[in-house]
Amino acid sequence: MPVFTPEYLHKVAFHVYRAKGTPDEEAEVVATHQVKANLVGHDSHGVIHIPEYCERIDKGHIVPGAPFVVERETPTTAVINGNWGFGFVVTEKAMRMAMDKANSQGIAAVTVHLQSHIGRLGDYPTMAIQEGMIALITADSGAGPKAVAPFGGRARRLGTNPICIGVPSDLDGLFSSTWLPVQLLPGKYLWLEIVAKMFLLDG
């Protein structure tokens, strides 16, 4: 199996997204999140998605450079329209907004709609943990394909709907935990398919 350095993968991802019309700053954010997912052991959320994201850009399902619109706002809350921008970019901006509000008011809640795949959920509470804050983030599949059958059901009707909480700690490491109602994420299934083919090709 080929081995690539994180720097190489980041460079490839960055330039692929730039070639698809993504602004430099956004391409940097997306590439960083994807490579980080690989580095922490979640290959299902890493650079494996580059071809998929490029296809989504071609179909208009991801809009590079989309405006980040604050539709409603109070000192402690906000509703964001991502206009189908890269989920990594939109969610990172929304998280920073929530952190700024919490820093000044003690608590905050921000919700986002109309954005694309946001990658590994654990990245975002980590941002708050680094500032000494507790964070809780949830995600759903919106109008996207469904992957989960409800309890007792036989057909897929729900998204994977993950929930992640992050809490600061005075120990060596931070505390971050993610829950979801599936045993195997679609991205992990895709990764297993690719790895299986590699092993078959290698004999």
64 in Cβ contact with 17 (< 8 Å): yes
Q: What is the pLDDT at residue 188?
A: 56
Of the ranges 115-119, 150-154, 183-187, which is most confident? 115-119
User: What distance in Å separates the CA atoms of residue 162 and residue 172, rounded to the nearest whole number?
Assistant: 26
Q: Which residue has the higher pLDDT, 81 or 145?
A: 81
**Is residue 55 pLDDT above 90, yes or no?**
yes
Lowest-pLDDT range, 71-75, 146-150, 196-200? Answer: 196-200
Q: What is the pLDDT at residue 14?
A: 99
The label of the residue with tokens 């005075």 reads 170
Strands, E, within 94-168: which ranges? 109-115, 135-138, 163-167
Residues 70-75, mean pLDDT to the nearest whole number: 99
Q: Parse the chain into domains and list their residue ranges.
A: 6-145+159-202
Q: What is the pLDDT at residue 199?
A: 52
pLDDT tens for residues 124-181? 999 999 999 999 999 988 777 787 888 888 888 887 888 999 999 988 888 889 887 6
pLDDT tens for residues 14-44? 999 999 999 999 999 999 999 999 999 988 8
Cα dist. 61→17, 48, 53, 97, 160 in Å? 14, 18, 9, 25, 19
101: three-class secondary structure by DSSP = helix
Instruction: Pick one of 3.40.720, 1.10.3470, 3.30.1370, 3.40.50 as the CATH number of 6-145+159-202.
Output: 3.30.1370
Q: Which residue has the higher pLDDT, 36 or 194?
A: 36
The pTM of this model reads 0.86
H or E stretch covering 199? helix 186-202
**Is residue 108 pLDDT above 60, yes or no?**
yes
Closest CA to 53 of 80, 92, 20: 20
User: What distance in Å separates the CA atoms of residue 189 and residue 199, rounded to the nearest whole number?
Assistant: 15
Share of the chain above pLDDT 70, in %: 88
Cα dist. 170→40, 41, 130 in Å? 21, 24, 12
